[in-house]
Structure 1
């Protein structure tokens, strides 16, 4: 088995996420509302947060590290290209604008689609910012000649890499790190349409992510210990490939799932030809399959597409734009076994 690739990240070296030479905000704006796990009875100790910008765009903060997912900062009324002859119109505004971002250390991009990596982001984003994405997206982002992105790292399904967080304050011979693993996903259902899409490349291939926040031995970074595990579904349908996830993570707790819902149909909700993201029914199936401690639905009301009542249970937290979810990353503990 080949060694897992490591990327060194130094949060203490401030850098702008965009090409603009402007003074950066030092932090995200104050959240409109802060939420915690419904079972939290005030024990506290939260040391990490997830800030919801809108669509599938979130900002994960922990141990001075700041990770941006699927950057889309378009405004209500703006249009995105989603395939040959297919466009979407954004219905909502993001919680913050692109130029209001503080320092960003890395981007997780699930696929090269304009509602996840919009035209403004593509034009203005700093070319040296680390981007972890699919092989297809990497081929697109690095094929722009002198305007190419230069720090793009591709992960296929179940391939992993580690963000090795460089910090001066190593605690007890250990330092923080983030292990990210590509998870399966399919944007087009199996069958003739999938075969046709393979030829036409109308809808790009997509990844989900398993993100593990934890600590590693400063002298041997291959010794990584998880403290909190987040699964991001990406824009996928409920397909058989997803069944491998609970098999691979058997006896390993999944603390949080960010699930992309919406029942997106193309060409559109008035002329549905094919559904390309999970609706509420498929979302419930995925929740039962993955069995996370908590689920946060995202990417389900930002575009003019079919939306259904998820009917989810009390292990779900809904975030409005500019809300944050706070949680605790454990230190010095082995991954907790799943019970039940």
Structure 2
């Protein structure tokens, strides 16, 4: 696989208990019990699941593995709250998150696909602790760090397409069998909110819709904490599409990961339209048809749809995707999570 060199290195120490937010000095010790726990749809469980994905709502998930918690696209607004999505464009939330922002347990790092209010709302931006590591786009780093003065986030790391960051995990516990230590590799994946052509060129000039990333998260191990990055062995790959349309640049993903299994795909759906439901002029996230195309392209072992019904700008309901999945004969390749559900899986050692 050809990728760029590691751009950032983050050392995460989950043994140091820190609240995710500035006003919650004593975080909860754990996430709440899941409403329902889902396993591999083909019944491939071997009772050795050692990782989980908790669905909060919208594109917000919390990944737990080896004592570390990663949160994606934090959005904790409630039903009836409004978000600004661009010049003259607003969205209204229809649902409540599985938990409230102040109820979060310790979070060790955030993966932020792009700087948009339905992925990083104003309350989140105001409340998150300033030293929380955030991996995001160069555009978002400008807003969260470069332009915020004394109130800036101090640990923001930007990744462009196919750039990497290694998250080394420091724990107070013992190493896994064989003396291995856990590590996480994050690689930026292509994404575009606006279709190519004149609209994309205009958006580049106006900056109305922010640039966006997807992610490839690799959970794995190194022989020791001092081992080089080339000694990292991936035990589970999670591709997160981010808020993208089905664009030509996505064709590069299966080429780069040829011969390497992609275990899980989190796909952002909803068919988000702007300026809004009353005038759906432009679709900026995948609908059911494009979602099926992405499944066919990436060929993940399991797909979990997220980002599909939380705002009134989503015009492609989850039911459309379910029908398309059934028509393709792929019901045993998809897991559906409601808010507060979790998916458990096994990371190979």
TM-score normalised to structure 2 length: 0.93
Residues 3 and 197 of structure 1, relative CA distance in 2, 3 Å threshold? closer
- For 1:321 and 1:272, the matched residues in 2 are separated by 26
Residues 2 and 58 of structure 1, relative CA distance in 2, 3 Å threshold? closer
Residues 246 and 14 of structure 1, relative CA distance in 2, 3 Å threshold? same
1:190-209 maps to which residues of 2 (within 5 A)?
190-209=196-215
- For 2:303 and 2:218, the matched residues in 1 are separated by 16
Q: Does residue 221 of the first structure (1) align with residue 225 of the second (2)? A: no
Q: Is the 8 A contact 1:167 1:175 kept in 2?
A: no
Q: Is the 8 A contact 1:173 1:217 kept in 2?
A: yes
Q: Is the 8 A contact 1:9 1:163 kept in 2?
A: yes
Q: Does residue 306 of the first structure (1) align with residue 315 of the second (2)? A: yes
Counterpart position of 1:83: 86
**2:169 is matched with which residue: 165, 170, 175?**
165
Q: CA deviation at 1:43?
A: 2.2
SS in 1 for 2:232: strand
Counterpart position of 1:137: 140
- For 1:30 and 1:217, the matched residues in 2 are separated by 33
Q: CA deviation at 1:260?
A: 0.1
Deviation per CA, 1:85-141: give whole Å up to 9, x if none.
000000000000000000000000000000000010000110100000000000110
Alignment size in residue pairs = 331
Bigger share in helix: 2
Structure 1: any 5+ residue segments left out of the alignment?
332-340
Q: Is the 8 A contact 1:90 1:303 kept in 2?
A: yes
- For 1:21 and 1:81, the matched residues in 2 are separated by 27
Q: CA deviation at 1:147?
A: 0.5
Deviation per CA, 1:267-306: give whole Å up to 9, x if none.
0122111100000000000000000000000000001120
Q: CA deviation at 1:170?
A: 2.5
Residues 21 and 52 of structure 1, relative CA distance in 2, 3 Å threshold? closer
Higher mean C-alpha deviation, range 35-44 or range 10-19: 35-44
Q: CA deviation at 1:41?
A: 4.8
Residues 2 and 19 of structure 1, relative CA distance in 2, 3 Å threshold? same
Structure 2: any 5+ residue segments left out of the alignment?
none
Q: CA deviation at 1:320?
A: 0.3
Residues 187 and 3 of structure 1, relative CA distance in 2, 3 Å threshold? closer
- For 2:303 and 2:187, the matched residues in 1 are separated by 19
Q: CA deviation at 1:23?
A: 2.0
- For 2:180 and 2:36, the matched residues in 1 are separated by 33
1:233-252 maps to which residues of 2 (within 5 A)?
233-252=241-260
Q: CA deviation at 1:221?
A: 3.4
Counterpart position of 2:157: 153
1:25-40 maps to which residues of 2 (within 5 A)?
25-40=28-43
RMSD after superposition: 1.1
TM-score normalised to structure 1 length: 0.95
